[in-house]
Amino acid sequence: MTTALITGATAGIGAEFARQLAARGTDLVLVARDADRLQRTADFLRGEHGVEVETIEADLVTEPGVAAVEARLRDDAHPVDLLVNNAGHGLVTDFAASSLDDEVRHLDLHVGVPLRLTHTAMQGMLARRRGRIVLISSVAAFTPRGSYGAAKAWGVSFARWANLRYRRRGVSVTAVAPGFTRTEFHERMGVSTDGIPAFLWLDVRDLVRLALRDIDRGRSVSIPTLRYKVVAGLARILPARVAAAGSLAPND
C-alpha cells in the first residue's frame, strides 16, 4: 500500500491505524473535524516516520464534509490504495428516548457515509485492479444492541458480500469487529465502564495489529482476539434475550 485515507483519524482506533500504517511507510490522508488535533497528528507522523501526510478537516455528517473526502478519493493522479471508514460515535439514550435527528445522523455516519465513500473509492480501485477498503464495525453487530448494533451489522453484511464480489478483481473489503477497546469512545459519551471485566478490554495497538493482518490477507471479517471470536460465535446461537443481557454497549 502507498496511500491510506482514514476517517476519524485523530483519536482511538483511527489514530492507531494512522500510527501503524505510517510505521510501515504508508503515506496518509487524515480526515477529522478538529483542525488543531488534525495538524498535531499529521506533524507527529511526518516527524516520526517520514511519510507524506495530507489532512482534510471535515464534518462527515454534513454534505460539504463528505463531498470533500469524495473529491480526494476521485483524485486518480494521487490514488488512495486503502480506505479506512472509521469515523463514528455511539448514542447513550434508549432508541425511543433519542431525538429522531440524532438517530438519523448516527445512522448516516455509520452507514450512509461509509457507503458513499466506499462506492467512490471502489471506482478507482477497480480501474487500477488494486485496493483495500475497511469498515470499522463492532462485535455489537452480532448481538441485539439497538440502532448502534444494527448500523454496525450493515458493515459486516456488506463486507461479506463485497469481498466475494470484488476480491477477484483486485479489491478486498474487510469489516473489523472489535470488542471493548481502550480508547476515548466511552469517555466522550460519558458512559461508565466500571462494570466491564478487565479481561474483555482490548489494547488498541493489539487490535489494529491483528486487524491489519486480516486486511492484508483479504479477509471479509476480522474479529480481533480469540475471546471476541467466541463472543461473536455464541451471540449467533444464543437466544436474543441472553445475547443482549449485561451489555454496556452504546444505544443498548
For residue 239, the model assigns a pLDDT of: 52
Query: Catalytic residue at 148?
Result: yes
Looking up cell 458480500, which residue turns up? 161
**Residue 59 in contact with residue 76, Cβ under 8 Å?**
no
Q: Examine residue 251 and state whether it is found in any structural domain, yes or no.
A: no
In a domain, 109, yes or no: yes
Supply the pLDDT for residue 232: 74
* Residue 249 counted as domain residue: no
237 in helix, strand or coil? helix
Closest CA to 22 of 56, 49, 61: 49
pLDDT computed for residue 82 by the predictor: 98
Q: pLDDT tens-digit profile of 138-184?
A: 998 888 778 989 999 999 999 999 999 999 999 999 999 997 766 55
Q: For position 192, what pLDDT does the model report?
A: 47
Residue 252 lies in a domain: no
> Does any domain span residue 227?
yes
Q: Which domain holds residue 95?
A: 3-244
Please report whether residue 50 resides in a domain: yes
The tally of domains found in the chain comes to 1
Angle at 26 between CA 24 and CA 30, to 5 degrees: 125
- Grid cell of 237 as nine digits: 446461537
For residue 250, being part of any structural domain is answered with no
Q: Which pLDDT value is given to residue 120? A: 98
Quote the pLDDT of residue 174: 98
**134, part of any domain:** yes
The 10s digit of each residue's pLDDT in 208-232 is 999 999 999 999 999 987 777 887 7
CATH number for position 240: 3.40.50.720
- Give the active site residue among 148, 154, 180, 228: 148
Residues of the chain with pLDDT under 70: 1, 181-201, 235, 237-252
- Residue 167's pLDDT is 97
Write down the pLDDT at residue 73: 98
